Amino acid sequence: MRLLVGTGFKMNLTSSEARRYFDAFVPLVASLTACDLFVLPPFTSIWVARERLSGSNVAWGAQDVHPEDGGAHTGDISAAMLSDLGCTYVEVGHSERRRDHGETDASVAAKVAQILRHQMTPIVCVGEPSRGLVAALDFVLSQVRTVCELVRGPERGRVIFAYEPVWAIGIGAMPADPSHVGAMHSGIHELLLSKAGGGHDSRVIYGGSVDVSSARPLLDEHGVDGLFVGRAALDPHQLAAIAAVADRVAASSPG
């Protein structure tokens, strides 16, 4: 599986700021060919991403979607709307949305099904709430399992899981130790390949205070298939530098 590196802007960057960001970012990563890249701007800037990123090696997408096709859901966005804007990836289940909007594993799984139905790729965020949680892997696997129970067959292999421990996200937080990340990713892959997980592996990427210095140690861990970069990526030069690390790792990997 090709390494995947990207970011979600959260509630940052106006359309004008996003335009300047993309114009700076694209030339910095134009020569990278061994990994896949993506950005998830706010809804208001997805059209800018389509305008500025079309024809480049950077895909774009959204940070959420509604689980239904349409109707009386004021302020929400449907999968059809995102697909029409050329979105490739759609993030769902981020811990901030679970916290602020009361999203559950079941509602996240329903969104995953909708994203797949519209031929886009879901990035499902999973992660334990506190550092040192004894049952951390069990907690995360329960989140993954809910998606696997709803999405069956080869299509489940299209789902990307982003392991993001909640305690490693935010200002002042530190990334999880690479050995912990490797163990969690190995556990997720094991479930995905099992009968309970549908028997189809897929990419599992890590997010949580990733920066240039932590990128290589994280990517060297078995089962880490990419990086979901947070606040460091608000600087296009920082995201490009992390992408370059991933590109070198991918290019040097056998097969």
| Amino acid residing at 210 | V
Residues with a known catalytic role: 94, 164
Report whether 230 contacts 176 (CB < 8 A).
no
Report whether 115 contacts 65 (CB < 8 A).
yes
Decide: helix, strand or coil at residue 178: helix
Residue 57 tokens, joined: 């090696």
Measured N-to-C along each axis, helices 15-29 and 46-53 cross at an angle, to the nearest 10 degrees, of 30
Counted residue by residue, the chain has a size of 255
R_g of the chain computed on alpha carbons: 17
> Rounded to whole angstroms, how far apart are CA atoms 90 and 63?
6
> Rounded to whole angstroms, how far apart are CA atoms 160 and 56?
22
> Rounded to whole angstroms, how far apart are CA atoms 87 and 223?
26
Give the list of residues 6+ apart from residue 187 with CB closer than 8 angstroms, or none: 137, 140, 141
